[in-house]
Amino acid sequence: MTHLAREYGIRITPMNVIDKIVMMSPGNVAAVRGPLGYSFERGAASGSLESELYGQLAAARVRFHTGVDSRELAGQYDRVVVATGSPFWAMARGRWSDVFRAWARGAVMEGRFDPTTLLVWFNKAYANNGFAYLGAFDTHRASLVLIVSDVREAEVEARWRLFLATEKIPWRETGSFLIEHNSGIAYPRQFENLIFTGNAAGLLDYLLGFGVYFAIISGVLAARSIYEGSSYEEKIRFLVRMVYQSYLARLTLNQMDNAGYDRLLGVLNSTPVNRAVYHSRLNVFEFVEHAALAAGGRPPLYDKFFPPD
């Protein structure tokens, strides 16, 4: 939070501070303790991240519930910033490559929760290459989400029921949602007079799919590049590198079976590894990148993350 305020002038208020993450696979459990991050309420509620950012706008006009066409806007303005959180504009221009295609089936659960703890489940049986997680709004309500990859929409509900039964989920479901959850990379992130930011550019963490950090920073850097007449691609290169490293980690995770998940959590339970990953300045993703290069050169999509000039 301090970094965003100091470097980018954006001040946001988290819903909760996460100081514990519990990760579960079919045969193992690993817990890490923090501080590890923050959780935010999303959506239209008065306390949501979107509402807080909207409240900080000084003069910008916002038209809600208004459909627009990228080609129409591109013909009217010198620069158009695409911050839709969706890949469709880049897809329509033939400038998108998929990394992870999935469905997100979620629900608001009622019960007793610890708002400072994030729960994560890995199991190929119900999630394929995805995962499930629970984050609490408060001590009585939480969001439970299953990200299941490589299935048709009609198959998702059966996977959700399998997840609830397998993990013996005890909480009461009070509301549900189902959305397509696709992530990938736009290339380049600036072409013609369009500038793509956040999820619309593919700037997110591919391991768990979280993208608030990348969305906020890329939005600020898009504005700065327009104001300065400078290169947006150069400004976000450090973000793209971080995203690329998480992509390599996602490729590694995709290759694991449930026994591999068990082994991974066993390694994370080791005190030295736990400290190195979560409580030191060691960049594990950078290590993964070097290991991937040593193992077999550049992986698929390298040229999409770093298009040749």
12-63 confidence digits (pLDDT tens):
988 899 999 999 999 999 998 877 888 888 887 888 898 898 888 877 788 8
Residue tagged 């695409």 (tokens): 82
67-126 confidence digits (pLDDT tens):
888 788 989 999 999 999 999 999 988 999 999 999 999 999 999 999 999 999 999 999
> Residue 201: in which H helix or E strand, if any?
helix 198-201
Greatest CA separation found in the chain? 57
What's the pLDDT band for 297 if we cut at 50, 70, 90? low
pTM over 0.85: yes
Q: At what angle do helices 271-278 and 258-268 cross, to 10 degrees?
A: 90
Please state, in angstroms and rounded to a whole number, the distance separating the CA atoms of residues 153 and 264: 30
Domain that holds residue 185: 2-305
101-111 confidence digits (pLDDT tens):
999 999 999 99
Spatial neighbors of 137 by CB under 8 A, at least 6 apart, are: 15, 41, 115, 143
Q: Percentage helix, strand, coil, to 5, in the chain?
A: 40, 25, 35
- Among 172, 164, 163, 168, residue whose Cα is nearest residue 140: 172
CB-CB contact of 262 with 26 (8 Å): yes
> Residue 162: in which H helix or E strand, if any?
helix 156-166
Read out DSSP for 114-161? -TTEEEEE--HHHHTT-EEEEEESSSSEEEEEEEEES--GGGHHHHHH
Instruction: Please tell me the total count of domains within the chain.
Output: 1
- What Cα–Cα distance (Å) separates residue 26 from each residue in 90, 144, 166, 265, 306? 38, 18, 9, 10, 37
The CATH number of residue 249's host domain is 3.50.50.60
